[in-house]
Amino acid sequence: NGLKKYFPIKSGLFSRTVGQVKAVDDISFSIRKGETFGLVGESGSGKSTVGKTILRLTDKTDGTVTFKGIDLHTLQPEELRKLRPQMQLIFQDPYSSLNPRVRIGDAIGEALLDHGLVPQAEVRDRVLEVLEACGLSSYHIDRFPHEFSGGQRQRVGIARALALDPELIIADEPVSALDVSIQAQIINLFRKMQDTKGLTYLFISHDLSVVEHLCSRIGVMYLGSMMETAPRDELFRNPLHPYTKALLSAVPIPIPKLKRERIVLSGELPSPANPPAGCKFHTRCPFAVARCKEEKPEFRHVGSDHYVACHLV
């Protein structure tokens, strides 16, 4: 609620703060139990920072993050540690978060022991169980990260998160580095895990066609602001924000009668250190009017679970 994350820009010999990057600039949304909320936007829109700030892997600048009624950013470190297993992050490249000298089974087992979730004697069984649930086997348990393909590594990343029996998984571009055929397998694995374990996901992606297959609701970010949120079908059938329309117009759709005009955005993505005044999208918006340059549009409820920030809607 009202979440902000600003990073200082330092310069010179004494690292004086000369400005700030408003990576997340006053956004509010909810993720409901058991759903998959897709967060989309171009790189640099602040999606990853939202994910990390929710998990309190980085401090917020302002706003609140509430998980099951608990304000995460006011918790003492020990209380936060106890909640950690319930909220897991899956990265784009799990390889970067795996120690190359530690066998996969040990890497997963270590997290279980760290949190005291399973007695030592049962760790291996538990690790094997999650590996199998993720389409790997006992063959993989004593292998090193470099022995795995990209798709297998992402299965390991998912297994490691699942081992802790989380309720919320934040997956940051988890399939973006994979071939399209492997992407489909991993997305199916995400879906299967949700069905069997009742997981809740925040699924971060720059790719709307990936999000379409998995998400029940979608939020569209631009330069640190939320531009639109809506249930998936509503967003795809009735996008209201010009930025969402432009993103969607680039996604091929198989239904000819839904054919859309391709909207090509002009100009570069402005710097989040110096975002445009008024509506942040006005420098690229084909529909901008004078008011857009001065007045920031409110994020308003416009109909069945549909929110949008645009003066023209």
Binding site for ligand SF4 (CB under 6 A): 241-242, 279, 281-282, 285, 287-288, 292, 297, 310-312
Stretch that binds Mg ion, among 46-54, 58-66, 146-154, 272-280 (CB under 5 A): 46-54
Residue 48 binds which entry of Mg ion, ligand SF4, none, CB below 5-8 Å type-dependent: Mg ion
Q: CB of residue 246 vs ligand SF4: minimum separation in angstroms?
A: 10
Contact 221, 241 (CB under 8 A): no
Q: CB of residue 25 vs Mg ion: minimum separation in angstroms?
A: 16
DSSP conformation class of 301: E
Write each residue from 75 to 104 as x if it is in contact with Mg ion (CB under 5 A), else as -, in one continuous string. Answer: ------------------------------
**Cβ contacts of residue 301 below 8 Å, gap of 6+?**
307
Q: Residue 154: helix, strand or coil by DSSP?
A: helix
Residue 53 binds which entry of Mg ion, ligand SF4, none, CB below 5-8 Å type-dependent: none
Nearer to ligand SF4, 201 or 299 (CB): 299
Q: How many residues bind Mg ion (CB under 5 A)?
A: 1
Which residue is associated with the tokens 């199998």?
132
Report the Cα 125 to chain-centroid distance in Å.
Answer: 31
Q: CB of residue 297 vs ligand SF4: minimum separation in angstroms?
A: 4
Residue 282 binds which entry of ligand SF4, Mg ion, none, CB below 5-8 Å type-dependent: ligand SF4
Nearer to ligand SF4, 98 or 246 (CB): 246
Nearer to ligand SF4, 197 or 296 (CB): 296
Q: CB of residue 79 vs ligand SF4: minimum separation in angstroms?
A: 41
**Cβ contacts of residue 76 below 8 Å, gap of 6+?**
none
49 makes contact with Mg ion (CB under 5 A): no
Alpha-carbon distances of 252 from 177, 197, 209, 266, 281, rounded to whole Å: 20, 32, 8, 20, 23
Q: CB of residue 215 vs Mg ion: minimum separation in angstroms?
A: 17
As a whole number of angstroms, the distance between CA 176 and CA 208 comes to: 12
Strand partners, 169: 88, 201
Q: CB of residue 240 vs ligand SF4: minimum separation in angstroms?
A: 9
With CB under 5 A as the contact rule, the residue among 48, 53, 152, 200 that binds Mg ion is 48
Contact 152, 93 (CB under 8 A): no
Contact 226, 29 (CB under 8 A): yes
Residue 284 binds which entry of Mg ion, ligand SF4, none, CB below 5-8 Å type-dependent: none
Contact 54, 202 (CB under 8 A): yes
Residue 292 binds which entry of Mg ion, ligand SF4, none, CB below 5-8 Å type-dependent: ligand SF4
* CA neighbor of 91 nearest in space, from 162, 168, 19, 175: 175
The two tokens of residue 108 are 């997963």
Q: CB of residue 227 vs Mg ion: minimum separation in angstroms?
A: 17
Contact 42, 222 (CB under 8 A): yes
DSSP conformation class of 62: B
Residues that bind Mg ion (CB under 5 A): 48
